[in-house]
Every structure is written in C-alpha cells, then in structure tokens.
A and B are shown apart, each in its own frame.
Chain A
Amino acid sequence: MDRAFKYNLFLSIFLGFTSILTASTEPSGTDKKTEIKAYINHHLKDSYDFSITSYTDDQGQHQYIGFSLPIILWDNGLKVFSSSKFHHGETVAEVDGNFYAIEHNKIYKTDEKGTINYDEHHHPKNAKPLDFSITKSVVMILITGALMFFLFRNLARSYASNGSIAKGAGRFFEPIVLYIRDDIAIPNIGQKHYKRYMSYLLTIFFFIWFLNIFGLTPLGVNVTGNIAITFSLALLTFLITNFTGNKNYWKHIFWMPGVPVPMKIILAPIELLGVFIKPFSLLIRLYANMQAGHIVLMSLIGLMFIFKSWLGSSLSFGLAFAISLIEVLVALLQAYIFTMLSALYFGFAVEEHHDEAH
C-alpha cells in the first residue's frame, strides 16, 4: 500500500510538472508564430519520408535534406512505391492508374488533380486505402530494434568469452538489467513468477528508453509520442496481464473477497473498468509526456526566432538547453514508469491468494 502511494505521489508530481510546462507555451497570431506552430505540428507527426531538415532556396523553393521511404498501400491489391512520388506531399502520386495525395499526414485516394472533398466538419470525404507504409517512425523502430538486438546479443556473448563478466557497452547496461530484475520485477511480481515476465519488461524498458532518447537527438523522431505506438505497447501489457492472470486475479475483479455481497456487486463493474483503465493510463501517460516534452522543447527553440534579439534568443536558448536536460531525465523516467507499472499489473495478475484482510 505504502509503495503504491509513493508511486502515485511521484507520478502526480511528475505529471503536474509537465502540465505546467505545456501550459506555459501559448502560441498566438502572427505569421512567424503560425509558421512555427505548423512546423512543430508537422514534427510531432509521423511522416512518409525521412527528412532531416528543409530550407527555402534563393528561388523560393523548398529543398529537403533526407531520403524517401517506401509507401505500401492495400487498395484492391498491394501497391508499393517510393514516397518521392509525393514530392513531400506537394504533388499527387500516380500508381497503376490510381491517384493518391497526402492530406494532414494521411494518404487519400483522389482524382488526377488531387482534389480533396471535405464534409461539414472539415474532414476529408475521400476514400482512405489501408496504409502499411514504412514511415519515419517505422524506420526508427526498426533501427532501435536492430540496435537493441546488437547490443544485448553482444552482452550475452561477452559472458561466455569473458568469464561471466560483461565487456564493453554491456558493462553499462548490465546494472540496468539487474536493476529491472531486482527492483522492478522481483518486488512487484514476486520471486516465484517474475522470470516469466523478465523478457517483456526488459524489452519494453530499453525499447521505450532508446526511442525516447532518439526523439531528443537532432533527428527528432517523435516515436514514443505517437498514440499508435503507445497503444501497441499498452495493448501488449494488457494482453499479458489478462492472459497470465490467475484465479485469484479474476476473483478480485468479479467477486471481491472480504467485502459484503452488495459491495461485491458494486465493485465488480468498477474493477472490470479498471482492467481497461490501467493500460489506458499507460498509453496516455507515455504519449502525453513525450508529446508535451517535444512541444515545449520545440516551442522554446521557436521562441529564439520570434525574439530575434540577443537577450531574448539567448535566454530561450538557455531555457531550451535546460529543458532538454530535463527531457533526458524524462526519457528515462517514462521508460521506468511504463516498466514499473507493467510489472505492478503483472504482479496483480499472479498474486497468490492471501489473507482476507486486504
């Protein structure tokens, strides 16, 4: 109980802190400001090509530095083509007699001219093909996966070759692996069952942490601040929790022991709702924190261009620098929180029957 309370306190302080930060950035009216806002919005979203930066040349043309990625669509058959056909969303792509255009970061089926029809809520009415494109985020996921595989396979191998002692980069990661085992998995799940969940907890921790850190590099790919990613991660935690849940876990949901019958009836729907709320809070927390961090950071960088004075710009640079340091901490913290809460939920799922006093 005490431990849960501490986590809650910790989380609420942390979440409160980030919400203060986001509240302090209020973009408003002028051209420069809207441009920066659009830029930030664009940055936060996934994109169909891996652009590192863009600039406007002497002729007023947008020039992009980066590379195109494959677009994979299912629209009455598999359609694979390069994202360069869209020219960064500026033109219509023609594939096998079908025309596609990008509108608000989504691919729509259009006519030759790329007309998008809107309904009264300003939503496009055009048909959307099933989109399995290798986007910037997917590329980062694959890179992170490859990096993790390379790093930890090397660590695993170094034990055999170096007499049970980690070598190289593994020396840095081994204590973290042990920390997750000794301070996250064992205390929350228990000595008896923790081994089953170790792989998942380790993978999810390093996956989120690495992606968070990549988000802070100049590549600035906001992967963990994407709702689809956090949804997928939370869904896995949800599935693992409920598929490994024992009798005691389900009993606590549908027929809470140790309380009077009317209370049991009242508690059942609440507990059932909790089953879904728990992973939902995971997905929203990670998404909101990473999203907020990126918004704050980019807004502060944007401020430099709005102030355009040596004092204001250097001040906002200093602030942006300080915030990026905090964001490095947040990157680790969010990975830790996600892992810790997953472990906590797994712990609920495999908790053995104990005294009625709860």
Chain B
Amino acid sequence: MEKLLEEFSLGLFVWQSLAFVILLFLLKKFAWKPILEAVDEREQGIKSALESAEKAKLEMENLQADNEKLLKEARLERDAMLKEARDMKNRMIEEAKDEARDEATKLMQQAQQAIISEKHAAIAELKSQVALLSIDIAEKVLKSELANEQKQTALVESLLKDAKIN
C-alpha cells in the first residue's frame, strides 16, 4: 500500500483526469453522439423495412385467402343454385304429375258421373218410350182387341200381368 502511494503521481493524475474529461466531451460531441444516432437511424430503417415487408407479405396472404374464400363462396353458390334448380325441376315435375293425376281422376269421375247420369237419363227415356210404346201398343191392341168385352178384360188382365214383371 505504501509503495502504491509512493508511486502515485499527482501531476500524472491531474493530466490524466483533465485529458480524459476533455476527450470524453470532445468524443461525445463529435463522435459518439453522431455514431450512435447514425447507427440507431440505420437500425430503425432496417426495422421498419423489415416490418413493411412483413406487412406486405401478410397483406398478400390475406389477399390470397380472400381470393380463396371468394372462389369457395362462388363454388358453393353455384352448387346451391344447381341444387335449387334441380330441386325445382323435380318439384315441378312432381307437381305436374300430381296435377295431371288429379285432373285425370277428376275427369274420370266426371265421366263416370256423366255416364251414370246418361244411363239414368237413358233408362228414364227408355222407360218413358217403353211407356209410350206400350200405350201405343195398348191403344192398338185395345183398338183391335177391345172389339169384344171378353177380350178386353182378358187383355187388361194379361197386360197388368206383364206390367208387374217389369
């Protein structure tokens, strides 16, 4: 320790401190500050460039994803439309078939009804015709037969018999 103190030179200490402090301030003003600022600026530049590249990449990816999505949507929509069309066609056919069937049955029913009513009418007509004819016949028969009373009564009886059969 004593040796160290003996070695200590005040002059050298003063010169060193003075020179170092001056050097510190000179370097700070003319070297360190501009160097660190330049390096900082450069790093910021690199950072922002990288960031914007990353952003562009992300945007690109987004765009691609969007495209993909749109394409998918379009495809889906097309499929849906096709399906709908197919469904509608089927439905229409089905409906048409149903309608046709309904119409046919309706027609059949109408025809049947018409036939029945015609038949009834025909029967009625026939009945009235038969009645007229029988009256005519009866008249003629009566005219010829009813020349005598016996025959008249016999005829009436036989006619009545016949009428009952019908």
Interface residues of A (CB under 8 A from B): 45-46, 72, 106, 130-135, 137-138, 141-142, 145, 148-149, 152-153, 155-157, 159-160, 164-165, 174, 177-178, 181, 195, 198-200, 202-203, 207, 226-229, 231-233, 235-236
State whether B7 touches A207 (Cβ < 8 A): no
* Chain A residues closer than 8 Å to B30, beta-carbon distance: 149, 152-153, 156
Chain B hits for A159, CB < 8 A: 34-35, 38-39, 42
Question: Residue-by-residue, is B7-21 near A (CB-CB < 8 Å gives 1, otherwise 0)?
Answer: 111111111110111
State whether B12 touches A177 (Cβ < 8 A): no
Residues in B neighbouring A106, C-beta threshold 8 A = 9
Known: A229-B12, A232-B16. 11 other contacts (CB 8 A): A45-B7, A130-B10, A132-B15, A145-B20, A156-B32, A177-B35, A177-B36, A198-B32, A203-B23, A231-B13, A235-B17
State A106–B32 Cα separation when bound (angstroms). 38
Q: Give, as a whole number of angstroms, the nearest-CB distance from B71 to chain A.
A: 45
**Does B163 count as interface, using CB distance less than 8 angstroms?**
no
Known contacts: A155-B31, A198-B32, A228-B8. The answer to whether A178 contacts B13 by CB under 8 A is no
Nearest A residue to B34, CB-CB:
A156
A148 in complex: contacting residue of B23, B35, B41, CB < 8 Å = B23
**Contact of A174 with B39 in the complex, beta carbons under 8 Å:** yes
Q: Are A156 and B35 neighbours in the complex by a CB distance under 8 Å?
A: yes
Residue in B11, B24, B34 whose CB lies within 8 Å of A131:
B11
Whole-angstrom distance between the Cβ of B24 and the nearest chain A Cβ: 5
Decide yes or no whether B89 CB sits under 8 A from chain A. no
Q: Which residue of B lies closest to A231 (CB)?
A: B13
> Which residue of chain A lies nearest to B32 when distances are taken between CB atoms in the complex?
A199
B165 beta carbon closer than 8 Å to chain A: no
| Interfacial chain B residues near A226, Cβ < 8 Å | 7, 9, 12
8 tightest Cβ-Cβ pairs between the two chains A and B: A152-B31, A159-B38, A156-B34, A199-B28, A228-B13, A228-B12, A232-B16, A131-B11
Looking at chain A's contact residues, the main secondary structure is: helix
Q: Nearest chain-A residue to B15 (Cβ)? A: A138
A to B CB contacts below 8 Å, 17 in the list:
A46-B9, A138-B12, A141-B19, A148-B23, A152-B27, A159-B34, A159-B39, A164-B38, A177-B36, A198-B36, A199-B24, A203-B20, A227-B8, A228-B8, A228-B16, A231-B8, A231-B13
- Complex interface bits, B43-82 against A, C-beta within 8 A gives 1, otherwise 0: 0010000000000000000000000000000000000000
Q: A164-B38, A177-B39, A227-B4 are in contact. Are A202 and B10 (CB under 8 A)?
A: no
B26 on the A face (CB < 8 A): yes
Distance, CA A204 to CA B163, complexed state (A): 153
Q: Does the CB pair B23–A199 fall under 8 Å?
A: no
Give chain B residues whose Cβ lies under 8 Å from the Cβ of A202: 27, 32
A135 touches B12 (CB 8 A): yes
The CA of A131 and the CA of B26, in the complex, are separated in Å by 26
Q: Which residue of B lies closest to A73 (CB)?
A: B11
- In the bound assembly, the distance between CA atoms of A99 and B8 in angstroms comes to 23
Contact of A199 among B8, B12, B17, B33 (CB under 8 A): B33
Query: With a CB–CB cut-off of 8 A, which chain B residues contact A157?
Result: 34
Q: Is there contact, CB below 8 Å, between B8 and A236?
A: no
- Which of B10, B23, B34, B35 is in CB contact (< 8 Å) with A228? B10
Residue of A46, A174, A203 touching B27 (CB-CB under 8 A): A203
- The answer to whether A149 touches B20 (Cβ under 8 A) is no
Closest to A164 in B: B42
